[in-house]
Structure 1
């Protein structure tokens, strides 16, 4: 299949978003946002054998996951997903059917949020590379920035931590036939961003969100640095499934603190607004857990992990430095 036939095969027959004036078919797409909305955009690139492998994923999973990673960025900004663009470098050993499965995975994920594919590019190369750019809308002044954490805030996370890393461990170990194991492998292959939960929080004037793509150790440090605050986390409050607790503590720590790719959200919110977060979690069937608090001490922007009556510095890598 040549490039033009391939583009024709993935071109949508209709638009889901009323603000889309022109999608695929011209030199560029044309969008007309509604009044009172700001545009949020993000881009992510995934490379074969670096970010994904056919040893642990089918082509369908690759498409579903690469779009999911971008949608999670939109959720972390509090925005509603609207459009996506795909640029793909195609090596000769990838078949047309495999490529169609990648796009089918993206299309199925996009349908959940009424997203439209509005463009992209295809070129030949030695290694499969998929770059996705997403666009979303958020009400004016409601973007959820990492710099929005304040002293006295409650720190919370959605879902469970370490699920995706443990799922990858199972996939490499080829021990994923049981129903319980399939839950974790699905968490790795088919992530579900917290879009609806974040949307329910758009009423709040101030809220800090960050998606957990590189592990909570990294994401908490990003918030602390951007807001110039201390983040204090209680390890015993972190939501960890029992299956992970069966492993040695160091292994459990690695998955939970720096395993990443759970695409959950870490956030901070004023204590008076915590009930709003709980209501949003309940209405969207989202698990949410209070895991710490924000403190302001001079110009310090550290993350501290409290465990077994000790307070230790938590580095971005998940490394715990004893004071």
Structure 2
């Protein structure tokens, strides 16, 4: 890897954000923070054979997905994407030209939100490891924190759940090409920045992005907000073309597979009608799936199905008492 030549090849010719004073090409980036806003920072790392498989994904797809994972975190905080930094460790078998495909995939999604690449580093290593740090801004009173759920809130989710996990299984089976809808939902998901944009004037929304499955995300909300949550299985949004799957498989995908990068969250009953109306105007699917309830002895998440209440832990569902 020729690091200096590579840096020259990825250096932007211009910056989309006027707040960038100095980007790639110096010892550090220089940013002029937006007055009246707070900075949101998130980072994620993906490792070959753990988070992605180059046997069924292109290098561009890998770059795209690692960026989506980070942008989705910004959306879950209620923030607007601004900049990103990329650190890559790559084996000697990966050339500069290969890495350019990774950066192209990142730019495919970053350019949609006018995000600027402002720095990073490359080094040699045993495995291909890609780490991205993203920066966004948010108005102080519009942060969407996991800790802001309140008893009586409506619990909702955007989109359909389990699609990315199903797409991965189709990809692994080699029975469907990359143009299949569910395969695309795995390799080219779309972060819900649109939801954040249309609901910016709603005073209080609690959000978490669906990276690990709603069984995990809802438990994180319950613990952070010190509440309990109850959802109904028959309300969980599932694409009609997945209904043929065996029931336990369908539940595993919808509740625990993750990587849909949808948003799950809560808002007051009074604001729910507004949230739903705003989303309908922008053609964003949003579904009420449950409610926030008294926490009892400790924060918990429950799944109602066929008249039975199941305790839904962070790894999935199990029989339990309410």
TM range (shorter): over 0.9
Deviation at 1:12, TM superposition (A): 0.6
> Aligned residue for 1:251?
249
User: What residue number does 1:103 align with?
Assistant: 103
Q: Evaluate the alpha carbon distance shift between residue 40 and residue 64 of structure 1 in structure 2; reply closer, same or farther with a 3 A threshold.
A: same
Q: Counterparts of 1:140-179 in structure 2 under 5 Å? A: 140-177=140-177
How far 1:280 sits from its partner (Å)? 2.8
Task: Provide the rounded CA distance (Å) in 2 between the counterparts of 1:219 and 1:129.
Answer: 25
TM-score by length of 2: 0.97
Secondary structure at the aligned position of 2:316 is classed as coil
Unpaired runs of 5+ residues, structure 1, are none
The total of aligned residue pairs comes to 321
SS across alignment from 1:203? coil
Measured in 1, the distance between the counterparts of 2:120 and 2:243 equals: 43
Q: In structure 2, what is the Cα distance between the partners aligned to 1:71 and 1:259?
A: 19
* Structure 1 counterpart of 2:320, from 316, 319, 322: 322
Note if contact 2:178-2:184 (Cα within 8 Å) is conserved in structure 1. Answer: no
Distance verdict in 2 for CA 1:20–1:283, change over 3 Å: farther
**Residue equivalent to 2:19:** 19
Partner of 1:122: 122
Q: How large is the Cα RMSD of the aligned pairs?
A: 1.2
- Map of 2:67 onto structure 1: 67
Give 4+ residue runs of structure 1 displaced > 4 Å after superposition.
Answer: none
CA contact (8 A) 2:171 2:177 kept: no
Tell me if the contact between 1:315 and 1:321 (Cα under 8 Å) persists in the aligned partners: no
- The TM-score with structure 1 as length reference comes to 0.97
3-state SS of 1:39 partner: strand
Give 1:322 shift. 3.1
1:4-53 CA deviation, whole Å, 9 max, x = no partner?
Answer: 00011011100000111111111111111221111000000000000001
* CA deviation map 1:161-217 (0-9, x unaligned): 0000000000000111496xx110010001100002112222122110000000010
Q: Which residue does the alignment assign to 1:53?
A: 53
Using the alignment, how far apart are the partners of 1:202 and 1:141 within structure 2? 10
CA distance in 1, matches of 2:243, 2:58: 29
Indicate the SS of the match to 2:4.
Answer: helix
Deviation readout 1:269-305 (Å, 9 max, x if unpaired): 0010012211331233210000000012344310000
Consecutive unaligned residues in structure 2, runs of 5 or more? none
Structure 2 residue matching 1:134: 3-state secondary structure: strand
Contact 2:227/2:294, CA 8 A, preserved across alignment: yes
2:78 aligned partner: 78
- How big is each residue's C-alpha offset from its partner over 1:82-109, in whole Å with a ceiling of 9 and x where there is no partner? 0000000011112333211100000111
Partner SS state of residue 53, structure 1 = coil
Write out aligned runs for 1:211-290 (5 A).
211-290=209-288
Residues 312 and 322 in structure 1, CA contact (< 8 A), matched pair in contact too: yes
Match of 1:28 in 2: 28
Measured in 2, the distance between the counterparts of 1:283 and 1:65 equals 28
Equivalent-residue separation in structure 2 for 1:278 and 1:56 (angstroms): 37
